[in-house]
């Protein structure tokens, strides 16, 4: 449990036990192999309680220039932005962003949560702020039936987006799919090039305005409830 919670490596935990620094329900533990019930037993290291989390979910404010990938030897990835004490968890990304896109990115160890956010059957809306090269005077065209190519060059029918705001070069819209370059390709289809793309919301969870680009925070159960459809 202690190594899963990233207190240290298995070897470190053995050393802590030998040094009599671990207690379970206030009794000293002699061996790192002691079995515990992580939901009920109180485990402390040096008197500080170590809470057992079944899963851990992070909100990241993704900056430009980082790949939404958990491993890519060819360049910087969003994992490079995860602080060391969290980086040992086995994160998956619940809905990638392009390398040049910014904004709300969710990293989680919870496979079901990933599925609930990205599954095409769930129709979870993701809201994007788009800045285009030219002013957008034909945004209504985004609401007309549209076919685009996905990452495998297969045509698909785009589900109608929600057009939230249009003001000159700025468009705020929400889409309920997450196909390859979808927002950029939707704008291309109506004759516009996207200059910047920022995701600001997934379902009801908004990007925390206090989170600077490149920063992450651990989400609590209330935050996670805003992310998934009931």
* Minimum separation from the CB atom of position 96 to ligand URA (A): 7
Listed ranges 18-26, 97-105, 115-123, 145-153: which one lies at the site for ligand URA (CB under 6 A): 97-105
Within the chain, how many helices (H) and strands (E) appear? 5, 15
Out of 98, 116, 150, 208, point to the residue binding ligand URA (CB under 6 A). 98
Query: Element (H or E) spanning 226, and its range?
Result: helix 221-227
C-alpha 125/C-alpha 203 separation (Å) is 5
* Minimum separation from the CB atom of position 12 to ligand URA (A): 39
Of the residues 98, 116, 208, 223, only one is catalytic, namely 98
Q: Which is nearer to ligand URA, 14 or 181 (CB)?
A: 181
98 labelled catalytic:
yes
Residue 17 dihedral angles phi and psi, to the nearest 5°: -65, -45
User: Site size for ligand URA, by CB under 6 A?
Assistant: 8
* Interactions with ligand URA, residue window 161-220 (CB under 6 A): 181-184, 197
Tokens of 92: 């998956």
* Minimum separation from the CB atom of position 185 to ligand URA (A): 7
C-alpha 170/C-alpha 75 separation (Å) is 30
C-alpha angle 71-221-183 in degrees, rounded to nearest 5: 50
Query: Element (H or E) spanning 62, and its range?
Result: strand 57-62
* Interactions with ligand URA, residue window 99-138 (CB under 6 A): 101
Residues making contact with ligand URA (CB under 6 A) = 97-98, 101, 181-184, 197
Catalytic residues: 98
């Amino acid at each position: 449990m202690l190594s899963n919670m990233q207190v240290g490596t298995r070897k470190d935990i053995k050393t802590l036990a030998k040094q009599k620094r671990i207690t379970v329900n206030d009794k000293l533990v002699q061996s790192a192999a002691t079995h515990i019930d992580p939901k009920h037993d109180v485990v402390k290291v040096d008197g500080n309680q170590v809470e057992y989390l079944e899963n851990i979910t992070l909100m990241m404010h993704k900056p430009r220039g980082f790949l939404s990938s958990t491993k890519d030897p060819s360049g910087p990835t969003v994992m490079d932005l995860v602080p060391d004490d969290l980086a040992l968890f086995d994160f998956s990304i619940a809905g990638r962003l392009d390398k040049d896109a910014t904004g709300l990115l969710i990293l989680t160890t919870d496979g079901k949560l990933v599925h609930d956010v990205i599954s095409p059957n769930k129709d979870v809306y993701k809201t994007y702020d788009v800045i285009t090269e030219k002013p957008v005077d034909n945004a209504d065209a985004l609401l007309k039936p549209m076919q685009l190519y996905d990452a495998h060059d297969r045509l698909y029918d785009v589900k109608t987006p929600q057009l939230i705001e249009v003001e000159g070069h700025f468009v705020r819209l929400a889409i309920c799919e997450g196909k390859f370059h979808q927002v950029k390709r939707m704008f291309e289809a109506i004759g516009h090039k996207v200059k910047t793309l920022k995701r600001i919301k997934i379902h009801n969870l908004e990007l925390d305005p206090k989170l600077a680009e490149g920063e992450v925070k651990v989400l609590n159960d209330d935050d996670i409830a805003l992310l998934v459809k009931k």
